Structure 1
């Protein structure tokens, strides 16, 4: 099975208390099981989020079944995912160049060691 990597970025609100709460929601075993199931059901085989200051970077390894548009549609039709996303908006904020309502922005790869 071949995998593909997607990388995204999003900001948290620049508030140390909110950042700590966000990290607690994402600590090992704390993400809602419905959320982790929806991630895996979309063909995402690994997901990691890194943080510096209030800027986050998400790295996703996906299998051949993953399609970003399909994942967005699955999320839109999943009430538990919508509840989670609404909760996360208490902590997250759009990047300055994001379109209205756009949260995670795909990163452009600009270098690869060969």
Structure 2
């Protein structure tokens, strides 16, 4: 099992829309997340900075293949077409990077 954490900005004017989308996440999206071996997935919001922080556990054996399968899923692409305009990447993001990975510096079970 791997823990992964990511962050991105939430556009202030899109906060309510983003929260509403996730309060009513599509069943197909939830099914796809599970099919791609992601468990214990949460997104947190830090205000007033409007930073989204996502964390999940990956329980598969090939994260690159599972993330590609998710990205290739038509329903996921429709979902991202709604959620991506609510977000903006950090200035420090690498070219092509959207959510930026975070380094785990401490964990305690």
Counterparts of 1:16-95 in structure 2, within 5 Å, are 18-27=14-23, 30-53=24-47, 54-63=50-59, 65=60, 67-95=62-90
How many residues were matched structurally?
A: 107
* Runs ≥4 residues deviating over 3 A: 111-114
Root mean square deviation, CA, Å: 1.9
Task: Measure how far apart 1:66 and its partner are.
Answer: 5.0
1:10-49 deviations in whole A, cap 9, x for unaligned? 111132xx1011011111xx10111111100011121011
Distance 1:88-1:78 versus aligned 2 partners, 3 A rule = same
Unaligned runs of 5+ in 2: none
| Higher share of residues assigned helix | 2
TM-score, normalised relative to structure 2: 0.85
2-structure distance, mates of 1:31, 1:5? 22
Unpaired stretches in structure 1, ≥5 consecutive residues:
none
